[in-house]
Structure 1
Amino acid sequence: MKLLKDISDISSRHEMLSKLRSELTDVSRELNITKNILDRTENVKDFDLIIKKISDRVLLSSKITQVRERLVSLNREISVLKDKVSYYEKVNLVQDIVISIDKKLEVLNKLEGAKKEYSATCGSLNDGLAFMEKNKKEIQENLNLYIDILRKNGVCPLCKSSIGDEKLEDIIRHYEEVH
């Protein structure tokens, strides 16, 4: 019985060892497969690094593209703004010209008013001069008439003294000095 038991133990052990051997063979085969895979994928870490670099560059390229598009957009906006600024500078120039013209029109209106006043004054002055000339002629005519009357009468109407040519000349000279 002991022998049977020993045989049974050995047989069980043999089965277990056989099983273990089979498992060891499987593990060994798996190990070889894994080793082959590892050998073939030895550069995978480098690939990971390369893939990360490529990914980083793609991301950077995407960002650069976005920045470039934004730059192009900003350049367009700057161009539009420059056109607007140029337009407004022209508007400011036109406004300055309009203000200058307004000031000149104001001066022109004042000058026209002054010209009208001057013309009116000149007209009045000419009327006055004409009036003075007319009165001067009338006075001269009346003086000539008065002298003729004095000559005919030969006497002063106020003091009744006699008036000769010399006295008449004094009266005419005195009148001319006064007027």
Structure 2
Amino acid sequence: MSIDVVGDIQEKTGGNYAMDASSAIHIKAGQTVVIEASSQLTIKVGGNFVTIGSAGVSIKGASVAIKADGIVSIDGSMVNINCGGSGASAGSGAGSSPGAPTDPTAPLEAATADPGELSDAAATPEQKEAKTPDSVTVGGYEPDSSSGGSSSSSSSAGNSQAEALNEAAESAAPFCERCEEARREQEQQQAGGTS
């Protein structure tokens, strides 16, 4: 698992915090690393250790070499170098296994209906609004249901075509000359066939 975070990461626990790697743990900072403890800090490798505690600093190793290109100054009331003692041991991270998955829940029963049977489903607002020919608005024109569909609105550019169609339907008048010619031809054919 890899985590790449652009911003800050802050972790806090009310108890102990343990990290355990089978191979290596790397901590690297671009500028500063601060490790602080209120009573003891130990760096340990095998039997060698450096312990910083409230009593002082203890250094123990199979060999301790201090080398500097400049001055080495050791000044303190108590700095123990190879004076016995032991460093604290690191705790091991216990780790944890993922929890067991929960059992799936049973699916809901599918809706069933016989043809012609009423549904219990609630109608949507669009379904509730039934449309009738006299309740439909066409281009700003709404037929007057009390007069059987005649116009009760004033004529305007937006509804003049709708009014013309409505009046033609009521009076059975033709829409244009071509329609009138076709009607006359049809009447002549019918009259010629009946004589």
Q: TM class, shorter-chain normalised?
A: under 0.3
Higher RCO (Cα < 8 Å, 6 or more apart): 2
User: TM-score w.r.t. structure 1 length?
Assistant: 0.16
User: TM-score w.r.t. structure 2 length?
Assistant: 0.15
> Which has more strand, going by share of residues?
2
> Which has more helix, going by share of residues?
1
